[in-house]
Structure 1
């Protein structure tokens, strides 16, 4: 992939240690999507009669709980890193 003028884009070896407002909005969306999926899967498992479907919905629920927790864990690690380096967490 080339930019105008034939120069290659600069690729950072790791993401920056900052979160932009756009990043925060996307993270909020990811948490909302997972929470919505958890609620829907739980609801469908509670109203369904078929044991196979109930088990599938419970697995879906657990999957999204793990994703939700993973996002929170990642944010917690980021907050610890910022606090240890003397940065400001807003």
Structure 2
């Protein structure tokens, strides 16, 4: 018997996200992308100023991590735009 059954609770059901982005959503995504770019720039700058190879490697790993995050966000947005465009084109 799991915890939900013991407490008498039913599993939570999640609503589907809206099909369009609000202005607030767009601004938040823009902020996330900007933060990642800023971290990439700073980590590159710090790596170029350092002499310690361990610090340089850590800064390079930081750059790679945030570049992957940035690209992942762009890929996700691109898939959403492509799916929306294809669905809109079919409706015409």
- Does residue 17 (structure 1) correspond to residue 50 (structure 2)? The answer is no
Q: CA deviation at 1:16?
A: 1.8
In structure 1, the residue matched to 2:64 is 62
User: How many Å separate the matches in 1 of 2:64 and 2:14?
Assistant: 36
What SS does the corresponding residue of 2:18 show, helix, strand or coil? Answer: coil
Deviations 1:36-69 (A, max 9, x none): 0000000000000000000000000000000000
Unaligned runs of 5+ in 2: 1-12
Alpha-carbon distance in structure 2 between the residues aligned to 1:20 and 1:74: 17
SS at match of 1:67: helix
> Equivalent of 2:49, from 47, 50, 63?
47
Q: Who is 1:6 aligned against? A: none
Q: CA deviation at 1:18?
A: 1.0
SS in 2 for 1:86: helix
Normalised to the residue count of structure 1, the TM-score between the two structures is 0.81
TM-score, normalised to structure 2, is: 0.79
Runs of 4+ more than 4 Å apart = none
Alpha-carbon RMSD: 1.4
Q: Which runs of 5+ in 1 are unaligned?
A: 1-9
Report SS of the residue matched to 2:88: coil
Instruction: Kindly indicate which of the two structures has a greater share of residues assigned to helix.
Output: 2
Q: Does 1:71 align with 2:89?
A: no
